Amino acid sequence: MVQHRMVDVNGIRLHIAEEGRGPLVVLLHGFPESWHSWQHQFGPLAAAGFHVVAPDQRGYGSSDHPEDVEAYSIFHLVGDVVGLIRELGAEQAFVVGHDWGAPVAWHTALFRPDLVRGVAGLSVPPPFRGAQPPLETMDRRFGGRFYWNYFNRPGVADAEFARDPRATLRKFFTMASGDGVGTGEVRQPLVDPERGWLASMPDPQTLPRWFTEADLDALTESFSHGFTGALNWYRNLDRNWELTAPWQGAVVTPPALYVYGDRDVVPAFPGTPELIERLPVLMPNLVREPLKLAGCGHWTQQERPDEVNAALLDFLKSLS
C-alpha cells in the first residue's frame, strides 16, 4: 500500500507518497499534476523490488509553496531531489520525470551524475541549452501568444485557473489527451492573451477513458492552494537559462531513457522533433531509441501505464 508522510529537505517540507523496499526510484510529476499522476507505477515497480517515492514538488499539493518566484529555479528544484535522496538514506537513486518533472530529472542527472543510477524522461526530452532565453525566443516567434509567455504574466493565469479549478483541470486533461477532444493534428499551444487559455478549450461531457472522476477529485483537491506555485516554475525559464550557462554543451551522462506520445504537443515544439531524432547521437548513454507511443497524448504514464511500466522496468532492472 502507498504510504504518505512529510519530509524536510532543502529548507522546505515536501509531502511524499512511497511504497516498496529496495533501490530508490524517485518519480517527479509535471504541470498541472501531483504525486497521484504516478498511481499506476507504484504497484508494479514496488512489486519488482524497488522503493518508489513520488513527492508533491514545491508549489504543489501538500508540499510547501514558497512565495518568492525566484524560489522555483532549476537549482531549487534539483536541490529538492538531492535533499530527498539523502533524507531517504540512499546513496544513489533512479530519477524519473514527466512534463516539468522531466527537466528536473534530466538536470539532476546533469548536475549530480554521482547520485543518479539512471534517468528517464517522459514527454520532455533531455536539456540542450539554446542560444537565446526561451521566453524571449517564444515571445518573438509567436507574438506573445505561446502559453509560456501567458503564464509569465503575474497573476493572470493564476486567477483564470483558480476561478473553477475542477473545470480548469478537466479541460487541461482532456485537451492534451491522446483520445480527447480535437485529437487531429498537434498544434502549438497558443493563447489569446485577452480571452485567456480556457476560453478556447472545449469543456468535455465525458472524461478521457483513462482519467476517472476520482482522479479529477484528487487532482482538484491538490490545487486547493491555487496555481501560483506551479506557474512560478514557468516564470523562471529565462532565469534558468542564465543560471545553466556553465553547462552549455554538456550532456546527460548517466544511463537514460526517453518516452513520448505521438499526439503530445510538447515533442512538437519548435526544434524538438529534430532534437529527438538526434538524441541517440547526442546522448551516448541513451539505452535505446526514443520510445514513441502511437496515439498517446501528453499524460504519458497515465494514458499508457502498461507500456510505460514495461519500459521503466526493463530500464531499471538492466541497471540494478
**Which active-site residues does the annotation give?**
99, 298
- The CB density around residue 271, as the number of other CB atoms within 10 Å, is 10
118 and 315 Cβ atoms separated by less than 8 Å: yes
**Minimal CA–CA distance to 31: which of 115, 97, 126, 120?**
97
Q: Which residue has the cell 553547462?
A: 247
Q: Which amino acid is residue 185, in one-letter code?
A: E
From CA 26, how far away is CA 94, in angstroms rounded? 6
DSSP code for 18: E
Dihedral, 169, 173, 176, 177 alpha carbons, nearest 10: -170
Q: Which amino acid is residue 99, in one-letter code?
A: D
From CA 201, how far away is CA 209, in angstroms rounded? 18
From CA 257, how far away is CA 178, in angstroms rounded? 21
Q: Rounded to whole angstroms, what are the CA distances from 21 to 1, 16, 51, 81, 318?
A: 12, 15, 4, 19, 18
From CA 56, how far away is CA 97, in angstroms rounded? 12
Instruction: Please tell me whether residue 125 adopts helix, strand or coil conformation.
Output: coil
Beta pairing partners, 4 = 17
